[in-house]
A = this chain, B = another copy of it.
Amino acid sequence: MDVKTLCLGVLSRGDASGYEIKKACEEGPFSHFQDASFGSIYPALAKLSADKLVDCYQMSQEKRPDKKVYSITKAGRAALFDALVVPPSHDKVNSDFYFMTFFAQLIPVEFLRDVLERRIAWYEDVVARMQECDMAVRPAGERFTHGLGLAHYRAEITYLRENIDQLLLEIEAAQSDDAPQDRSLLSQTVSA
């Protein structure tokens, strides 16, 4: 999903400035499945504006810098529709965390424990914040996606809680076995 489409999506829910779009990705309703930096949002809005997919009006504010508020046009909604009606690609999680746990046996146990505990704490924080949202007033699609995200985070928490101790025990055992001859570094055959 490119940043232009993301902007159109945010703007389809109401007018916003570049700064507000960034916030929607950081803390708002898109925060758990999208993100974009200012360096991509502002050029995207400029392009969208040049293509007449959004309108832009300046807004002076007291005690705040001026903002440029963008408004999606009819052509913009059509472009959003076109982007939405293509079969979504198979999600790539591309997780550094998964990559790290995969190689747990190469990592010092204390570090591993720390990372895992922080991850649980962070997920719990995310879930807590998500539960505070009043979804009742929101459209069905947003409620559905919110619930899907919650289900995902809860499953992750449950699994981590249930398996962290076992993992750390096994890693500790494996590492104390390996240490003397450094056997963990021996080459093995790859197998799918």
Binding site for B on A (CB under 8 A): 1, 5-6, 9-10, 12-16, 20, 23-24, 27-30, 32-35, 71-72, 74, 77, 80-81, 84-85, 87-108, 111, 115, 118, 122, 133, 139-142, 144-145, 147-149, 151-152, 154-156, 158-160, 163, 167, 170-171, 174, 185, 187-192
Contact = CB atoms under 8 A, between A and B. Distances in A.
Given A14-B187, A147-B159, A85 B104 contact: no
Contacts of A34: 92, 94, 99
Contact of A142 (B14, B102, B190): B102
How many copies of this chain does one complex carry? 2
Given A34-B99, A155-B154, A174-B140, A24 B91 contact: no
A107 B85 CA distance: 7
B145 A101 contact: yes
